[in-house]
């Protein structure tokens, strides 16, 4: 069967692949476009499997909140380089995945992989096709879901790398965004002191006692002051790691988040902060060695 330009164009529109790849697939399948699509999908799966071991620590955090402000999702989607993280094809994929995450109701990235996008492909099939097209490992790494908010969900993104969703009971849109922005900047671990696990606090107290005794010895302070020094260090630790204890980043008067919320009769019920690549050990690349390896055929 003759491989016409119109046939190549149709295959390109249906797969998003390059012209030469489409033409080669059609030649291989003797012009059978459905068989060509299947062959290209298998090729994409093979490429995806080959690249799956490569470190993907760049990417974006996407957020989508329903119109009623009661349900929302935050998704981390990774690639290998900052360059691809800005690519329009990658960003379109990320938007589509986030929309599917919100509408499907799934609770984790693994289940999200099997959900259907607006174009009829599953998330994983679209991911594999994008890997074949772009040439980098791409992963849908994390999905955080917020359902049935008692108050309203508010969000903030710092660039594309840090995302925050916070549920605020009371207050308004401006307060919600301010609190979310503060969380993005200061990265609190807990909302309040009562959320800090007892074993964590015990370990911090142990460290504080050692530090306080060393300081007391160096400065010739009496033993009676050691316990006060310990308590001071524990109060400082709690204010550093809790949202309510932190000083609001936009405050010129050193106002705490707790005081800010009280002004509006509001409270934070929960929050999640995601940062691209956190927890992923990045491989340090040596460009010169990489080039030499390619020259040697390694």
Specify the pLDDT at position 191: 97
Q: Which domain holds residue 37?
A: 5-51
The pTM of this model reads 0.76
Which CATH number does the domain housing residue 136 bear? Answer: 3.30.479.20
Distances, alpha carbon 222 to alpha carbons 15, 108, 211, 216, 218, in Å: 76, 55, 15, 7, 11
Q: Is residue 257 part of a domain?
A: no
Question: Do residues 41 and 9 share a domain?
Answer: yes
The answer to whether residue 266 sits within a structural domain is no
Q: In the chain, what percentage of residues exceed pLDDT 90? A: 60
| 146: nearest Cα among 71, 219, 36 | 71
pLDDT per position in the chain (298 positions), as tens?
A: 678 888 888 877 776 666 777 788 788 888 888 887 777 666 654 444 444 556 678 999 999 999 999 999 999 999 998 899 999 999 999 999 999 999 999 999 999 999 999 989 999 999 988 888 888 889 999 999 999 999 999 999 999 999 999 999 999 999 999 999 999 999 999 999 999 999 999 999 999 998 888 888 888 888 788 889 999 999 999 999 999 999 999 998 899 999 999 999 999 999 999 999 998 766 555 545 655 555 565 4
- Would residue 43 count as lying in a domain? yes
Domain count, the chain: 2
CB atoms within 10 A of CB 18: 12
Is 179 contained in some domain? no
Are residues 67 and 41 part of one domain?
no
* Tokens (6 digits) for 32: 């059978």
Residues 119, 142: one domain?
yes
Is position 232 within any domain? Answer: no
pLDDT (0 to 100) of residue 48: 43
Among the candidates 100, 121, 148, a domain finishes at 148
Q: What is the CATH classification number for the domain harbouring 16?
A: 1.10.8.10
d(CA 227, CA 232): 9
């Amino acid at each position: 069967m003759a491989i016409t330009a119109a046939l190549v164009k149709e295959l390109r529109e249906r797969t998003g692949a390059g012209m030469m790849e489409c033409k080669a697939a059609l030649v291989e399948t003797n012009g059978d476009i459905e068989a060509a699509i299947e062959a290209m999908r298998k090729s994409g799966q093979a490429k995806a499997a080959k690249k799956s071991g490569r470190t993907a620590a760049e990417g974006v955090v996407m957020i989508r909140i329903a119109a009623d402000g009661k349900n929302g999702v935050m998704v981390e989607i990774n690639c290998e380089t900052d360059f691809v993280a800005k690519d329009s094809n990658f960003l379109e994929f990320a938007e589509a995945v986030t929309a599917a995450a919100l509408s499907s109701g799934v609770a984790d990235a693994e289940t999200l992989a099997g959900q259907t996008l607006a174009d009829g492909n599953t998330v994983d099939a679209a991911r594999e096709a994008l890997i074949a097209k772009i040439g980098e490992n791409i992963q849908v790494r994390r999905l955080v879901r917020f359902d049935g908010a008692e108050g309203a969900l508010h969000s903030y993104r710092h660039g594309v790398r840090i995302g925050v969703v916070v549920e605020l009971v009371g207050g308004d849109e401006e307060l919600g965004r301010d609190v979310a922005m503060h969380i993005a900047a200061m990265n609190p671990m807990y909302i309040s002191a009562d959320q800090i696990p007892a074993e964590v606090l015990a370990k911090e107290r142990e460290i504080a006692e050692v530090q306080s005794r060393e300081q007391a010895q160096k400065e010739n302070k009496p033993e009676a002051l050691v316990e006060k020094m310990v308590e001071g260090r524990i109060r400082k630790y709690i204010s550093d790691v809790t949202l309510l204890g932190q000083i609001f980043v936009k405050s010129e008067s050193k106002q705490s988040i707790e005081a800010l919320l009280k002004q509006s009769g509001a409270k934070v019920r929960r929050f999640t902060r995601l940062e691209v690549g956190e927890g992923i050990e990045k491989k340090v690349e040596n460009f010169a060695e990489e080039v030499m390896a390619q020259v040697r055929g390694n």
